[in-house]
Amino acid sequence: MPESRKTACWISSARYSQPLDAASSRKWQLMTDLNDYEIRVIGFAASPRPRCFQQHVHFYLLPLLPTSLLRYLTVFGFGQLLLILLALRYNCEIIVAQSPFEGAMGAAAKLFVRLLGRRPKLIIENHNNFEEDVFLQRSIPLKSLYRAVMLALARFAFGRADAVRVISSSTAKRARHYAPNSPQARFMTFSDTDVFRRTERRIPVNQAEDIVYAGLLIPRKGVHHLLSAFAQLEQPRARLHLVGGAENADYAKQLRRQAAELDIGDRVSFVGAVSQAELARYFGAARAMALPSLSEGLGRVVVEAMLLGTPVIGSRVGGIPDLIIDGENGYLVEAGNEAELTAALRQVYEADVATMGERARAFAEDFFSPEKYVEGYRKLFELALGESNDPEIERDSA
């Protein structure tokens, strides 16, 4: 590694395969455009076998153990130790923690290596409502204790952050509460939007009849409200495609039972997880995409759907209102309000969706690009290192 290059170490609970999947490969390939930096990434392997390899950047992957408790112990134990070793071995100038909880490990590593003369800068990323989202995804035992520990870790992390990355106005506000004096950079989570830009629609949006939901099948996404609203829709030829992995198996089973009880089982397809290219094909045959979340950091699938000229119905929560202009490129509804969601679904069959789709595409193309994502990190690193004259970067797209 040339002496002039700095080292940036990432730590997160993200899972990576070897070789990387197409979207991850594209992301880290683009990040090599930060050619002043050597990048090293700590995460989880896609299997119980730990891995260490280089593909665009260096990966150090912890074993993916079968329960969340074991994974927590692994990342807070071995992940913490590995981060310290990398910070010392490569004189890491920047530590990037991809949530406030990994941020606690980053903060501890920062304090420890300072005792040995190193001076890394710590970046904390805030992608969601970390105070509540985990409780909206699954049942948590000892909820009060879990919350107290979680918030203590977040406060410890934010209190030692040199810069913060946020993805929406709502995550910016939340991070500002915990780190009022840390500079912020704001840009969306990565999407290989080139896939969506170069995909052509299979059905013109004003001729399409189907609705698509894209996201994990977890309670926080409000899919049960979407099923109830779809059952009220007077469009017998319309189908609802639920595209996304069943991360919460009990919830996925509940959704299947609900569809059967509502007598729409033959009009609802549980597609499962798909590639970006396949997701683009679903968007390109849909009249609208629906994201009825109860909480959402931003909702990058909104941008991805819009790039196909597909209007989006989304909840008025988190960062979704940053993306949807009600009545212009989609519709906003109150989270959990099935009557409003039903009305919005009906509207997309009555409105000039071709014009809405054009507006949606124009907005999305301006909002995000992979190149803007990399430039966002460049500016973020400058903020952390004190090399930027701009005390705060509050841009919607980069």
Mean pLDDT of 287-312: 97
Confidence (pTM): 0.91
CA–CA gap between residue 369 and residue 115 (Å, rounded): 40
What's the pLDDT band for 3 if we cut at 50, 70, 90? Answer: low
pLDDT at 141: 80
CA distances from 331 to 95, 319, 350, 394 (A): 39, 14, 13, 25
Asked if 329 contacts 356 with a C-beta cutoff of 8 angstroms, the reply is yes
Q: Over the stretch 352-380, which tens digit does the pLDDT of each residue have?
A: 999 999 999 999 999 999 999 999 999 99
Q: How would DSSP label each residue in 196-236?
A: HHHPPPSS-TTT--EEEEES--SGGGTHHHHHHHHHT---T
Phi and psi at residue 18, to the nearest 5°? -125, 115
Asked if 269 contacts 384 with a C-beta cutoff of 8 angstroms, the reply is no
Q: Over the stretch 174-202, which tens digit does the pLDDT of each residue have?
A: 999 999 999 999 999 999 999 999 999 99
pLDDT at 4: 72
pLDDT at 133: 81
Asked if 185 contacts 163 with a C-beta cutoff of 8 angstroms, the reply is yes
What's the pLDDT band for 396 if we cut at 50, 70, 90? Answer: very low
pLDDT-above-70 percentage for the chain:
97
Asked if 121 contacts 95 with a C-beta cutoff of 8 angstroms, the reply is yes
Asked if 216 contacts 247 with a C-beta cutoff of 8 angstroms, the reply is yes
Tell me the residue ranges of DSSP E strands in the chain. Answer: 6-16, 37-45, 51-55, 57-62, 94-97, 121-126, 163-166, 184-186, 210-214, 240-243, 268-272, 286-291, 312-315, 330-333
Q: Is the pLDDT of residue 394 over 60?
A: no
CA distances from 102 to 96, 125, 329, 335 (A): 9, 9, 36, 29
Q: Over the stretch 237-258, which tens digit does the pLDDT of each residue have?
A: 999 999 999 989 999 999 999 9
Asked if 377 contacts 34 with a C-beta cutoff of 8 angstroms, the reply is yes
pLDDT at 390: 60
Q: Is the pLDDT of residue 393 over 90?
A: no
CA distances from 161 to 28, 38, 148, 179 (A): 24, 21, 20, 7
pLDDT at 398: 30
Q: Which amino acid is at 210?
A: D
CA–CA gap between residue 364 and residue 301 (Å, rounded): 11
How many C-beta neighbours within 10 Å does residue 262 have?
Answer: 15
pLDDT at 395: 40
Q: Over the stretch 130-169, which tens digit does the pLDDT of each residue have?
A: 888 877 777 778 888 988 998 999 999 999 999 999 999 9
pLDDT at 2: 46
pLDDT at 140: 79
Q: Which residue has the higher pLDDT, 112 or 398?
A: 112
Query: In this structure, are strands 6-16 and 37-45 parallel, antiparallel, or unpaired?
Result: parallel
Q: Over the stretch 206-226, which tens digit does the pLDDT of each residue have?
A: 999 999 999 999 999 999 999
Tokens of 8: 């940036």
Question: In the predicted model, what is the mean pLDDT of the chain?
Answer: 94
Mean pLDDT of 259-278: 97
Q: Is the pLDDT of residue 1 over 90?
A: no
Q: Is the pLDDT of residue 391 over 50?
A: no
